[in-house]
Chain A
Amino acid sequence: MALDYEESKQKIIGGLQKKSKSKSKFYFSDLAKILDAKPREAKKIVTQMINEGILEFWSSGSTSMYGLKGAGKQSAAEHENE
Chain B
Amino acid sequence: MAKHETPLLDQLESGPWPSFVSDMKLEAESRAKNVNNVEFQIPQDVIEDLMGVLELSYKDAETHWKHGGIVGVFGYGGGVIGRYCDQPEKFPGVAHFHTMRVNQPSGHFYSTDFLRQLCDLWEFRGSGLTNMHGATGDIIFLGTTTPQLEEIFYEMTHKLNQDLGGSGSNLRTPSDCIGAARCEYACYDTQDLCTYLTQEYQDELHRPAFPYKFKFKFDGCPNCCVASIARADMSFIGTWKDDIRVDQDAVKGYVNGEFPPNGGSHSGRDWGPFDIQKEVIDLCPTQCMKYENSKLEINNKECTRCMHCINVMPRALRPGKQTGCSILVGAKAPILDGAQMGSLLLPFVEVNKENDYQEVKDVIESIWDWWMEEGKNRERLGELMKRQGFQKLLEVTGVDPIPQHVSEPRHNPYIFWKEEEVQGGWERDINEFRKHHQR
Does A63 reach chain B (CB closer than 8 Å)?
yes
Does A20 reach chain B (CB closer than 8 Å)?
no
Does B173 reach chain A (CB closer than 8 Å)?
no
A57 touches B208 (CB 8 A): yes
| A61: nearest chain-B partner, CB-CB | B81
Please, how many angstroms separate the alpha-carbon atoms of A64 and B209 in the complex? 8
A46 neighbours in B (Cβ, 8 Å)? 209
How many A-B Cβ pairs are below 8 Å? 88
B75 neighbours in A (Cβ, 8 Å)? 50-51
B70 touches A57 (CB 8 A): yes
Q: Quick one: given A47-B207, A50-B75, A59-B208, are A64 and B372 in contact (CB under 8 Å)? A: no
Does B253 reach chain A (CB closer than 8 Å)?
no
Residues 29-82 of A contacting B (Cβ, < 8 Å) = 29, 38-40, 42-43, 46-47, 50-51, 56-64, 67, 74-75, 78, 80
Does B44 reach chain A (CB closer than 8 Å)?
no
A59 touches B209 (CB 8 A): no
Does A5 reach chain B (CB closer than 8 Å)?
no
Interface size on A, residues (CB 8 A): 26
Interface 9-residue window, one of B113-121, B162-170, B302-310: B162-170
B interface secondary structure, majority: loop
A58 neighbours in B (Cβ, 8 Å)? 68-70
Residues 364-386 of B contacting A (Cβ, < 8 Å) = 369, 372-373, 377-378
Please, how many angstroms separate the alpha-carbon atoms of A40 and B372 in the complex? 9
Please, how many angstroms separate the alpha-carbon atoms of A73 and B381 in the complex? 32
B373 neighbours in A (Cβ, 8 Å)? 38-39
Residues 19-70 of B contacting A (Cβ, < 8 Å) = 67-70
| B213: nearest chain-A partner, CB-CB | A62
A61 neighbours in B (Cβ, 8 Å)? 67-68, 81-82, 99, 167-168
Does B77 reach chain A (CB closer than 8 Å)?
yes
Residues 143-178 of B contacting A (Cβ, < 8 Å) = 146, 167-170
Q: Quick one: given A61-B168, A64-B77, are A28 and B208 in contact (CB under 8 Å)? A: yes
A50 neighbours in B (Cβ, 8 Å)? 75, 77, 207
Chain B residues in contact with chain A, CB under 8 A? 67-72, 75-78, 80-82, 84, 99, 146, 167-170, 203, 207-213, 369, 372-373, 377-378
Provide a sorted-by-A list of 15 A–B residue pairs whose CB atoms are within 8 angstroms.
A50-B75, A50-B77, A57-B72, A57-B77, A59-B68, A59-B69, A59-B78, A59-B168, A61-B67, A61-B167, A63-B168, A75-B70, A78-B70, A80-B69, A80-B71
Chain A residues in contact with chain B, CB under 8 A? 27-29, 38-40, 42-43, 46-47, 50-51, 56-64, 67, 74-75, 78, 80
Q: What 19 new A-B contacts, CB under 8 Å, besides A39-B372, A64-B78? A: A29-B377, A39-B369, A40-B372, A43-B203, A50-B207, A56-B70, A58-B68, A58-B70, A59-B72, A59-B80, A60-B168, A61-B68, A61-B81, A61-B82, A61-B168, A64-B168, A74-B68, A74-B70, A80-B70
